[in-house]
Amino acid sequence: MVFPILWLVVLGVIAAALFKLAFLDGLSAEAETLAPSAELQTATVEAARADVTNLVQAQGSVVADPAVKVRSTSDGTVVYIDVEQGQAVSEGDRLFQLKKPVEAPPAQLPRDGEEDTPAPAQLYTYVDVVSSASGTLADFPVLLNQQVTVGTDVASVAPGSFSVQGSLSTEQQFRILDRPTTAMVTLNGGPAPFECGSLTTGGAPGGNSGETPETGPAQPGPGSAGTFSCAVPAGVSVFAGLGAAVDITAGKAEGVVTVPATAVRGTVQNGVVWVVADGVEGPEERAVGLGLNDGQQVEITEGLAEGEQILQFVPGAPAQDGGQPGMTGAMGG
């Protein structure tokens, strides 16, 4: 009877030891493992040198250039017509001729003993009215023997040329303040990309001069604040209504100090960044000079040196999806 009792005692000790290892020691280790130890880190980025190309991409369409009005430069009666509607004309070509009476000098009273002199015959001068542009005579309502007054619209000339026009957002207008003169245009389903010259920007949406009876004015897009227009070169086959992708390059800088656009409050000329320095509690707000902006990176012209650490996002700015820099942060929180 003694041995079974001893075996029961030994088994009880073993069971107690296993229980302690399995539950009490395990719970203690798990409690130590689950103790909170995370630290909050503020996202920072280093000012680094890079190349920046200020490329603004916009959408536009091809429109026919408006007809040029021709105004009469004199009063008179139409005595000769040189052209007819639909005819091609060049700038300076005569369209018609006017006959205009010349005022006679006042009659001299006869002296004593002299006979009366007959009144002088009416004198006339002839004035040529010429075309003020080259193209096709789109409208020409002048008739023979018609009385014309100075400043009257007597014709319109369709130049037969085309332009690419579209809208720009406020941000895009700020990015091309240097006023580039050309753009690269790619037509939807058209010829190879070509350089479009005589680029103009600005102006109120809907106020572009490319309005035609067929197409009407180019309509501004949502949120647009201005327009652009450039001349399609002669020899490029286009027609009104073609859609176009337009690339406007307004400068390139190589090897300059840059930071993400999300780190800067401001987009043009002057901005603010938040510098993080060792031994300094909290970020330091610092004014900086801004150069080119490609929508992702911003050139820093002054106020920040290469290698300095700054906050990656403007304090209070909305977070960017996926952490990718964008223009939202650059516009401020």
When pLDDT is averaged across residues 134-142 and rounded to a whole number, the result is 92
How many whole angstroms separate alpha carbon 311 and alpha carbon 272?
11
User: Where exactly are the structural domains of the chain?
Assistant: 44-55+254-330, 57-65+170-250, 68-102+123-158
Kindly give, in sequence order, each residue whose CB lies less than 8 Å from that of residue 113, ignoring residues fewer than 6 positions away. none
Residue 273 pLDDT > 60 = yes
Task: Pick from 46-50, 100-104, 216-220, 221-225 the range whose average pLDDT is largest.
Answer: 46-50
Class of domain 68-102+123-158: mainly beta
Residue 301 pLDDT > 80 = yes
pLDDT at position 283 is: 86
> Which tens digits make up the pLDDT trace of 196-218?
988 988 765 444 444 433 444 44
CATH of 44-55+254-330, one of 2.40.420.20, 2.40.50.100, 3.40.50.300, 1.25.40.10: 2.40.420.20
Q: Do domains 44-55+254-330 and 68-102+123-158 have the same CATH topology?
A: no
| 70-79, 87-96, 209-218, 231-240: segment of lowest average pLDDT | 209-218
Kindly give, in sequence order, each residue whose CB lies less than 8 Å from that of residue 129, ignoring residues fewer than 6 positions away. 70, 72, 73, 74, 94, 95, 96, 97, 98, 148, 154
Who has greater pLDDT, 217 or 267?
A: 267
> Which tens digits make up the pLDDT trace of 170-184?
888 888 877 788 899
pLDDT at position 44 is: 87
Who has greater pLDDT, 318 or 42?
A: 42
Enter the DSSP assignment of 14.
H
When pLDDT is averaged across residues 21-27 and rounded to a whole number, the result is 59
| 28-42, 87-101, 216-230: segment of lowest average pLDDT | 28-42
How much of the chain exceeds pLDDT 90, in percent?
36
How many whole angstroms separate alpha carbon 298 and alpha carbon 291?
7
Kindly report whether the global pTM for this prediction surpasses the value 0.85.
no
Q: Output the average pLDDT for the chain.
A: 79
Is the alpha carbon torsion for 295, 301, 302, 305 positive or negative? positive
Residue 326 pLDDT > 70 = no
